[in-house]
Structure formats: structure tokens, C-alpha cells
Structure 1
Amino acid sequence: MAFAAVGLAAAQSSTTSAVASTTSVCAAQSVLNVCVSQQQASTSQCAGNDYDCLCTGYTNLSVCYNNCPNDPGAYNASQFKTQYCNAASV
């Protein structure tokens, strides 16, 4: 369990840039960019081991990508959401 927490904390510190890469262009790209920016600012306030906060933050971030589901950041946001929500449920 301790190793999982360390891995999650390390992953959290590197996710901001991984999820922020909204390089595709879709009809709602500007909406996506604003949403991602706001959600990342909110999620960055979570402590590295506050899995409830991170789960909520990445759930909200994942919703941003409903506007541009083919954006490469959608997959990363979804993966981190799953990871943190699974950790929060333990």
C-alpha cells in the first residue's frame, strides 16, 4: 500500500503537464482549454495523498474532455481519474 501511495504521489506531480497537452483542435477547443486550465488549478490544490480530492479533481477534468473527446489529453485525464478514484475507495 505504501508503494502505491508513493507511486500515486509521484504520478500526481507529473500529470499537470501530461494532461495539459491539448494539441488537437476541435470545434470547442477554447472551451476545453478554459475548462482544463480551471480544473488543473483546482486539482493542484490537492495534497499528493488526498485521493478523494484528486479523484474529484480528475473526474471534473475528465468531464472537460466531453467537449473534445478525441483530444490526446482525454485519455490521460481518464487514466488518472481511475487511478485516484480507485485509491480513494480503498
Structure 2
Amino acid sequence: MNKTALFLLSLLGLAACTAAKEDTGNTRTASAAQANTIVECILYDGMTKQSAQLTSLGADTQVQITDTVDVYFVKARVMKNGQVLNGYMYRSCFGKQ
């Protein structure tokens, strides 16, 4: 009986270590800002299509993602014409990551 219990506890411990390792490998921290190149897209004032458009961005524009706000939007910072603009962009502007 003792050998069976010890074996089961060992398996349980091994499974917990494996699950913990997988969890830490897939997490992304929002504090680590990323610079991404995009396809043509719009930087909005808010998180709806009715929000004011701050600027239109071309494929050569570098965008800094400051927060992954929502399922559809990311909070972004863009330098355009010497001015820093903060707003929201659709996630679909950036390819799969």
C-alpha cells in the first residue's frame, strides 16, 4: 500500500511541475513594451469604431504597444511628425504572434 501511495504522489508532483513550467512559458507581461511594424491601420481615440481617428498609419510606421487592453484592441503609442500620439488600434493590424 505504501509503495502505491508513494508512486501516486510522485506522479502528482511530476504533473504539477510540468503544468507550472507550461504556464510560465506562455505568459506575456504587459510591462514589456513591444515595437511592431503594422499594415495600414488607424489609431483611434477610444475603443469603438465611432471613436475619433487620431491618425492613419502606414506599413512603415513603428508602433509601441503599451497595453493589451481588450480582445479587439491594444493600447499603442506612435511617433508621427515629431509628435507622440497615444491611442487604440485593432489587434488585427498586427499579424499573428
Please give the TM-score of this superposition, normalised by the length of structure 1.
0.30
| Higher strand proportion (structure 1 or 2) | 2
| Higher helix proportion (structure 1 or 2) | 1
In our comparison, the structure showing a higher alpha carbon Rg is 2
Please give the TM-score of this superposition, normalised by the length of structure 2.
0.29
Q: Which has the higher contact order (CA 8 A, sep 6+)?
A: 1
